[in-house]
Amino acid sequence: MTLTIAVAGKGGVGKTSFCALLVRWLIANKKTPILAVDADPNSNLSEALGVEETSWTISDVVSQTKEIDGIPPHMSQDEFISYKLSASLTETEHFDLIAMGGPQGPGCYCFPNNVLKKHIMKLTKNYRSVVMDNEAGMEHISRGTTTEHVDALYVLSDTSRRSVRSAARVYALTRDLRVPVKKIFFVLTRAKEGDAEALHDEMERLGLRVDGMVPEDETITAYELAGRPLYELPDDAPSVASTIKILDETLGGEDDALLA
């Protein structure tokens, strides 16, 4: 059975960094092959993972499927979608990457999305693990386009009250999702000592409990300035050590059935 993990939160809270380190953790724990899904139009998961993605996105496939003359005459719709999905994959030894892309103009995409859904479902079943870097709205999950279920959802927030409130809205959204979410974890990022205590009243009011904290890390800033992939951060970097601890505790426990 495929292990499906999603990461959500408002922009700038470190979702993509967390996803890159999550892929690294899954590889270290031999939960491969992995499909990494970049479902945030503003994300740069390929750069964080140190790979150059293909020029095709799922949005491109949807757009061409919508246009009858976008499908070559010698190919059926199913053959065309399967071919384009394969062409959209960036393949590496341990993980593959696919980007959802953003909306491309007005019009209803319901029909091509429904057609595409079964192909993506078939694709994800070829992987031991799927990691989804989502935008805050989790649109692709709520549509059920990318997955039938979510085993673990990590909701990230920095220590601003606006971000914490945004995280609470994601929690509320999970109650209305078509896709069931088995477990949900709340992670504070860019945190300093005392931040959780300072936010205690706000989080209690919103019904949030901190499951882990990732500290502010100058190593990430240095890597981003140098254009180096965050996937290659050193093991002793504060962000790496804290993320590994969070994943060990939430995904790697002996009593946790998620990785069984």
Q: Residue 170: is its pLDDT beyond 60?
A: yes
Which of 191-205 are b and which e, b meaning 16 or more Cβ less than 10 Å from the residue's Cβ? beeebeeebeeebee
From the number of C-beta atoms within 10 Å of its C-beta (0-12, 13-18, 19+), residue 260 rates as: exposed
| Measured distance CA(5)–CA(129) in Å, rounded | 8
pLDDT, the chain, mean: 86
Mean of pLDDT values over 219-248: 95
Mean of pLDDT values over 134-153: 77
- pLDDT in the model for residue 141: 73
Mean of pLDDT values over 157-182: 88
**What region, left, alpha or beta, does residue 68 occupy, with left being phi > 0 and alpha being psi -120 to 50 degrees?**
alpha
- pLDDT in the model for residue 63: 77
At the topology level of CATH, where does 3-252 sit? Answer: Rossmann fold (3.40.50)
List, in sequence order, every residue forming a beta bridge with 191; answer none if it has no partner: 215
Mean of pLDDT values over 34-58: 87
Report the amino acid identity of residue 258. L
Enter the pTM of the model: 0.88
Confidence of residue 53 (pLDDT cuts 50, 70, 90): confident
Report domain extents, the chain. Answer: 3-252
Q: Which residue pairs, CB below 8 angstroms and at least 24 apart, start in 227-230?
A: 227/47, 229/20, 229/47, 229/48, 229/49, 229/50, 230/16, 230/17, 230/20, 230/21, 230/48
| Closest CA relative to residue 23, chosen from 35, 15, 12 | 35
- Convert the pLDDT of each residue in 98-132 to its tens digit: 888 766 555 554 555 566 677 778 888 899 999 99
| Closest CA relative to residue 36, chosen from 48, 45, 25 | 45
